[in-house]
Amino acid sequence: MSSRRSRSRQSSSGRITDQQIDDLMSKLQSLLHEARHGSHDRASAAKVLQDTCSYIRSLHREVDDLSERLSELLDAAGASSAQAAIIRSLLM
């Protein structure tokens, strides 16, 4: 990999950036390449895997969090306006 950027990991409540995912993807790809071709940089592989695990956990948490917030919204919004908003989303 050519550049190593240090950045704060995942945003806790904010949006996932394309940059973050691209970075992780290229790391995983190079790890896969290493695995297939027998070269084995153990230290960095461990780090990439660790970051990957953290990232997946944070995505799981986001799904949980968004599920709760959607649940609140569906309740608060009232039946017809929530349904209308959902239908509207379908048409986007």
Look at residues 47, 44, 45 and name the one whose alpha carbon lies nearest to residue 55.
47
Query: Least distance in Å: CB of 9 to other proteins?
Result: 13
List Cβ neighbours of 27 (8 Å cut-off, separation of 6 or more): 1, 48, 51, 52
Q: Say how many residues make up the chain.
A: 92
CA pair distance 51, 28, nearest whole angstrom: 10
Specify the residue, 1 or 78, whose C-beta has the smaller distance to other proteins.
78
Specify the residue, 5 or 18, whose C-beta has the smaller distance to other proteins.
18
- 69 lies in the binding site for other proteins (CB under 8 A): yes
- Assigned token pair, 11: 């945003």
Residues that bind other proteins (CB under 8 A): 15-16, 18, 21, 24-25, 28-29, 31-32, 35-36, 42, 45-46, 49-50, 52-53, 55-57, 59-60, 62-64, 66-79, 81-90, 92
